[in-house]
A and B are shown apart, each in its own frame.
Chain A
Amino acid sequence: MSVRMLFVAATLAMSAGTAFATGDAGAPAGHAWHIDWFNFFGKGSQGLLWSLINFAVLGLLLRKLFGNALTNFLQTRHTSIKDALEEGRRLREQAQKQLKKYGAKIAGVDAEVAALVATIRKSAEDEKARILANAEAQAAAMKKDAEQRIAAEIARSRRALEREVVNAAISAAEQILRTQARDDDHRRLADSFIASLNGTAAPVPPTPTAPPTTPPTTPSSSSGGAVDDSW
Chain B
Amino acid sequence: MIAGSLARRYARAVMAIGIDSGKYEPLGNEINDLVKAMQSSAELADLLVNPLFKRSQRRAVLDKIMVRLGASTTTKNFCYLLLDKERIGGLPDIARALSTMIDDKIGRVKATVTSAQPLSALQLQQLKQALEKSSGKTVEMDKRENPDLLGGVIAQLGDTRYDGSLRTQLDRMRDDLVK
- Complex formed: what's the CA distance from A218 to B175 in Å? 15
**Which one, A167, A187, A227, contacts B162 given CB within 8 A?**
A227
Question: Considering only CB atoms, which chain A residue lies closest to B171 in the complex?
Answer: A215
User: In the complex, how many residues of chain B place their beta carbon closer than 8 angstroms to a beta carbon of chain A?
Assistant: 42
- Complex formed: what's the CA distance from A194 to B169 in Å? 17
Encoded as 1 (CB less than 8 Å from any A CB) or 0, chain B from 129 to 153 comes to 0110111100000000001001111
- Complex formed: what's the CA distance from A206 to B115 in Å? 22
Contact A231 B166 (CB under 8 A): yes
Contact A206 B160 (CB under 8 A): yes
Give the tally of cross-chain contacts (CB within 8 A): 122
For chain A, the bracket of interface size reads: 35 or more
**Which one, B119, B127, B152, B177, contacts A197 given CB within 8 A?**
B127
**Which one, B147, B153, B160, B161, contacts A190 given CB within 8 A?**
B153
Which B residues lie within 8 Å of A207 (CB)?
A: 159-161
Q: Is B68 an interface residue (CB 8 A)?
A: no
Main SS of chain A's interface residues? helix
Q: Is A97 an interface residue (CB 8 A)?
A: no
Contact B133 A198 (CB under 8 A): yes
Question: Considering only CB atoms, which chain A residue lies closest to B152 in the complex?
Answer: A189
- Closest Cβ–Cβ distance, residue B126 to chain A (whole Å): 5
Which B residues lie within 8 Å of A226 (CB)?
A: 134, 162
What residues make up the interface of B, taking CB atoms closer than 8 Å to A? 115-117, 119-120, 123, 126-127, 130-131, 133-136, 147, 150-166, 168-175, 177-178
